[in-house]
Amino acid sequence: MEGVKKYQLTFFQRNSQKIAQVIIVLILILVTSPIILGYAWLILRSFSEDIVQGFIPTKLTLKNWRFLWQNIEGYPSIWKITMNTFLLALGVMVIEILITSMGGYALSRYEFPGRSSILRLILVLHAFPAISLMVAIFYVLWNLGLLNKLWGIILVKASLEIPWGTWVMKGFYDGIPWELEWAGLVDGYSRLQVWRKVILPIAKPGIAVTGIFAFLSGWSEFVFVNTFIFEQQTWTLSKYVKGIIGDFRFVDYGLLTAVGLFYVIPTIVFFFFVSKYMIKLTIGGVKG
C-alpha cells in the first residue's frame, strides 16, 4: 500500500551501537599503531634480507642471526653475555623474593612499634626517584669493591625494587585468612614454622608475580650496567645491544633487529602471564 509508510530507521540508526564500536576499535588501532608496527618490524626485519614499505619482508634469511654462532667483530660471545644477563636477572629475583617475602610477612602479620612508620617509609621510597642517587651509589659500590661486578648491580637493583616488592607481598599475605595461621599455631608450630610451612606455600602466586617482575627488571637493566660495568666480559645484553646499535645502525638493521629480538624473548614469554596480572593491578603495585 502506497499511503502507509513503514516506520523505517536508516542503516546508521539501526546499527549505531555497532558502528560506534567499530569506530572506537579503529581509533584504538590508530593510536596503538606505533607499538604494533614497531614490534612487527622487529620480528619481520630480523628474518628478512631486505624490507619494502617499511616492514614488508622480501626474502627470508637467517643471516641476521649469525651472531648466535659467530662472534660479531669487537664484541664478546653472545652466549657469555646472555649468561651474565641471566645471572643478573636470577640474582635480582632470588634476593628480592627472599627479602620481600620476609619483610612483607612481618608487615602484614606482626604488630610492633614503628610498624606504620615503616609502611609509610616504604611508600615514600616507592615514590622516591632512586635514580637520582646514582652518583652516591657509584661511590658506595666503589667502597664495597663491587664496581664492575655483576654482584654490585644485583644488590643495587634488588634494593631499589624492595619497596615495591614488599608492598605487593604484603598485599598477598593480607589476603590469606588468619584462621590458617591460628590452626598452625594450635597444632604446635612456632611462628617461624607457620610462616615456612603454612603461609609460604599459599603465597606462591604472590612470590611468582614478584619473582617474574624482578627477573624481567634485572634482565632489562640498562643504566646501571652502562655506568657501573667497564669490562666487556661482564657486560649484559642491554649493553651489548646498545653497542651493536651504535656500530651497525644504518648499516645492518637485520643484525640489529635479530639481536634485539633475541634479547626480548624472555619478556615475550612472560608477557602474557604478567600483563594479565598487571591489568588487574591497581594503584598499589604499578611503578610509573
Partner 1 sequence: MKKFRIPKSWFFLSPMFVLVTLFFAVPVVITVVMSFTDMDYSFEWNFIGFMNFQDMASDFLIPKVLLNTLVYTFATLSLFNVGMALLLSLLTTSISDRLGDFFRSLWMLPRLTPSVVYGLLWLWIFDPTKYGLVNNIRAWFNLPPQDWLHQTPMLMVILANGFIGASMGMLIFTAAIKAIPIDYYRAALIDGASWFTITRKITLPLIKWQILFVTAYQTLSLLTSFEYILIITDGGPIFRTEVWALYTYHTAFESFRYGYGATLSVILVLVGIAAAFVYLKLFGFEALMSKPRIEVD
CA distances from 176 to 97, 165, 273 (A): 18, 17, 22
Provide the minimum distance between the beta carbon of 5 and partner 1 in the complex, in angstroms, as a whole number: 25
Nearest to 266 by CA among 230, 212, 227, 221: 212
The count of other CB atoms within 10 Å of the CB of residue 227 is 16
Task: Write the burial class of residue 251 (CB in 10 Å: 0-12 exposed, 13-18 middle, 19+ buried).
Answer: exposed
The interface region with partner 1, picked from 6-14, 60-68, 97-105, 202-210 by CB under 8 A, is 97-105
Q: Does 72 bind partner 1 (CB under 8 A)?
A: no
Q: Measure the CA–CA gap between 128 and 132, rounded to whole angstroms.
A: 9
Q: Does 133 bind partner 1 (CB under 8 A)?
A: yes
Among 78, 160, 199, 209, binds partner 1 (CB under 8 A): 160
Q: Does 94 bind partner 1 (CB under 8 A)?
A: no
Among 14, 15, 19, 20, binds partner 1 (CB under 8 A): 20
Please answer whether residues 245 and 252 qualify as being in contact, where contact means their C-beta atoms are separated by less than 8 angstroms.
Answer: no
Sketch the per residue contact string, 40 through 69, with partner 1: x for CB under 8 A, - otherwise: -xx--------x-xxx--------------
Q: Determine the Cα angle at 221 with ends 216 and 222, to 5°.
A: 150
Q: How many whole angstroms from its chain centre is CA 58?
A: 33
- Which single residue is written with the C-alpha cell 657486560? 235
Provide the minimum distance between the beta carbon of 6 and partner 1 in the complex, in angstroms, as a whole number: 25
Q: Does 135 bind partner 1 (CB under 8 A)?
A: yes
Provide the minimum distance between the beta carbon of 207 and partner 1 in the complex, in angstroms, as a whole number: 15
Residues 216-275 that bind partner 1 (CB under 8 A): 216, 219-220, 222-223, 226-227, 237-238, 241-242, 245, 249-250, 253, 256-257, 260-261, 263-264, 267, 270-272, 274-275
Provide the minimum distance between the beta carbon of 11 and partner 1 in the complex, in angstroms, as a whole number: 20
Provide the minimum distance between the beta carbon of 90 and partner 1 in the complex, in angstroms, as a whole number: 16
Among 36, 60, 62, 208, binds partner 1 (CB under 8 A): 36
Q: Measure the CA–CA gap between 78 and 260, rounded to whole angstroms.
A: 12
Q: Does 156 bind partner 1 (CB under 8 A)?
A: yes
Q: Measure the CA–CA gap between 110 and 120, rounded to whole angstroms.
A: 16
